[in-house]
Chain A
Amino acid sequence: MNVKEYISSGVVESYVLGLATDAEQQEFEAACRQYPEVLQARLRFEQALETQLLQNADAPPAGLKKKIDDSIKNFEAADIQTFSKPHATPVRRMGFWKIVAAASVAALIGVLIWSVTLNNTNQQLRDENLALQKDVNQSAAQLAEMKEDAQRMQRPGVKLAAMQGTTNAPGALATVYWDTTSTDVYMMINNLPQPASDKQYQLWALINNQPVDLGVFEVKQQQLLVKMKNVQNAQAFAVTLERKGGSPVPTMSALYVVGKL
């Protein structure tokens, strides 16, 4: 340690005036023990401070000394009393009931908050449950429909006509399942472009080259089979794109798919 530098760093004054931190105090006290110069510097500053303050003393009012003497005497008397008469403390009981009361209030508030939270969670769960229930019902209904559709396709006597895309829609594909026993007609839309909003697809049966209207249909994802009008006889099926609501005769220029039985 550079003692001279340390002494002139202001630490002496800082320590004496009570402005040093705990760590600085400890360091300074150690330095005072180790280096006489540091101790000397401290004593010099203390002396200078004392002289300065004594020169500028401002005597307190005359009565103050007596007041202080009196209170010190009171303390002495009180000290003797506390030593000779250690009294028991009946304060505990009050404290106990206060604690019980405080604990009860705290517990009550806790229960209230808990029940409100619980109620909210409960309501939320109920709502979620209802929504899920609805979803499940919908899915189950869809699945049942699809199962039924699948069965329809496998019945004996069901004939199948795969309709391939024309030049209008080369990639298009739709399938007709015709139940020769019940004469029911079902359409499976494998791939048809979504029509404009003012247009609709229309299915035709070709009997001896004469087109018979089997109804219009929408292109929907969720439906496996679309039930069309029944037909007694047919050699081929075709789909054209018509005005919404359908047309009495097919527009041959808007032929999309066609296929023989």
Chain B
Amino acid sequence: MALLRQKDNGAFSYLYDHYAGALHGVVKQIVTDSELANDVVQEVFINIWKKIDSYDESKGRLFTWMLNIARNASIDKTRSKSFQQSARQQTLSDNDMLTYTVRPGMDDYGLKKVLFKLKDEQRMLIELSYYQGFTHDQIAKALNIPLGTVKTRIRSALIQLRTLLT
């Protein structure tokens, strides 16, 4: 960790070798396009290198921190102009619902594999909040269910996710 903070090339190289695959897997699940996914992974590692000083060990493991950088960068990419052909930006459309309940492929990796074991309804909520980055509020409005219900359902899905993981 100290070596990383000093921006030691060797330490950073180890970080890449060890974690690039796992992060790439997550990025690909969000961005889907492999070219763009590579771009995002590049951005993610540059950001890790730039922001390593702001990493706070008391708040989580290094991998968790990197995972969140990767997730945010991927969601940003899906919302950026280069990714969007049509305006699908800030609002959830019915289309999103369809895409994320019946999207083929990509489901046999990492978290998604675990997600697949959840009920459809729970999976969709995790998809929307985790992979799409929509706020609970946006999801509640789009699905026309109370905010409290969205929160509870996501929580219960997350609890199940833990039992599936551990």
Contact = CB atoms under 8 A, between A and B. Distances in A.
Say whether A associates with B.
yes
Contact of A60 (B24, B109, B110, B162): B24
A57 B161 contact: no
Interface of B is mostly: helix
B60 A57 contact: no
Interface residues of A, number: 41
A89 interface: no
Interface in B63-117: 63-64, 67-68, 71-72, 109-111, 113-114
A53 B41 contact: no
B155 interface: yes
A18 B22 contact: no
B16 interface: yes
Interface string A40-53: 00111111111011
B156 A43 contact: no
B130 A68 contact: no
A52 B46 contact: no
A10 B21 contact: no
Given A17-B130, A50-B63, A53-B111, A59 B161 contact: no
Nearest to A63: B38
**Residue among B19, B155, B157 with the highest chain A CB neighbour number at 10 A:** B155
A33 B57 CA distance: 12
B154 A64 contact: no
Interface in A5-43: 8-14, 16-19, 21, 29, 32-33, 42-43
Contacts of B130: 17, 19
Contacts of A47: 61
Contact of A64 (B38, B60, B67, B71): B38
B16 A13 contact: no
A60 B158 contact: no
B28 to A, nearest CB: 6
Nearest to A25: B59
B31 interface: no
A2 to B, nearest CB: 16
A231 B89 CA distance: 98
B166 A44 contact: yes
B159 to A, nearest CB: 5
A114 interface: no
B129 interface: yes
Among A16, A60, A71: residue with most chain B CB under 10 A: A60
Contacts of A19: 129-130, 154, 158
B16 A72 contact: no
Contacts of A10: 154-159
A17 B61 contact: no
A13 B161 contact: yes
Given A47-B61, A60-B41, 10 more contacts: A16-B60, A29-B59, A32-B58, A44-B166, A48-B162, A53-B25, A58-B110, A59-B24, A61-B38, A75-B50
18 contacts: A8-B159, A9-B155, A11-B155, A13-B161, A14-B158, A17-B158, A45-B165, A46-B60, A46-B61, A47-B61, A48-B165, A49-B111, A52-B165, A53-B110, A58-B110, A60-B41, A65-B17, A75-B46
Q: Which 8 A-B pairs have the closest CB atoms?
A: A57-B21, A10-B155, A13-B158, A56-B110, A58-B25, A53-B22, A48-B165, A10-B158
Interface of B: 12-13, 16-17, 19-26, 28, 37-38, 41-42, 45-46, 49-50, 58-61, 63-64, 67-68, 71-72, 109-111, 113-114, 129-130, 136, 154-159, 161-162, 165-166
